[in-house]
Amino acid sequence: MRRQHRLDSRPVRCAYASQPTSRPHCQLSAVVRYGPIALCADCDARRSTLGKGITPHRLPPQPPLDVLDWIASADAAVHQAHTELAAAVARARARQHSWAVIGAVQHTSRQAAQQRFGQDLPVER
C-alpha cells in the first residue's frame, strides 16, 4: 500500500505576524526561512545583521494568510486551552490540592481561582 502525503495548504506565518505594533508592514505570509525562523518579504528586507550567515531557504508559493481564518484558529486554541485548564484544575482538586496552591500556580489568589473554576467542579459529598 502506497503512503499518501497530505499537502498542508495553510500558509506559513511570518515570525513577526503576531507583532502588529512593532511590525505594522508585515505581510503575514512567509516567503523565506532562516533555520526555524520564517519571514515575509518585508520582514526579510528589514531584518538586522543578526543571522546573516544562515543560508535562506525559499518557501514554495502559497496562498496568502487569511486573517479571519487566523482569528478562528486562535479562538479555537483559546477554547481548547480553557478546557485543558479546567480539566487540570478539576484533577488537582480531586487530588486534594487546595485552592491556594492552585491559585499560586496560576499567579492569582485562592479566591480568584475558586471563583473562576469552583462552579465547574462536581459537588463533593
Where is the domain boundary, 35, 65, 95? 65
Structural domain harbouring 7? 1-65
60 and 71 together in one domain: no
Q: What is the pLDDT of residues 76-124, one digit of tens each?
A: 999 999 999 999 999 999 999 999 999 999 999 999 999 999 886 655 5
Number of domains in the chain: 2
pLDDT digits (tens, 9 = 90+) for 31-82: 999 989 999 999 999 887 766 788 889 999 988 999 999 999 999 999 999 9
CB 65 within 8 A of CB 29: yes
For the cut 60, the answer to whether the pLDDT of residue 2 exceeds it is no
Q: Are residues 77 and 55 in the same domain?
A: no
pLDDT score of 9: 62
Pairing relation of β-strands 37-39 and 32-34? antiparallel
Phi-psi category of residue 115: left, alpha or beta, with phi > 0 → left and psi -120 to 50 → alpha:
alpha
SS3 content of the chain, % helix, strand, coil (to 5): 40, 10, 50
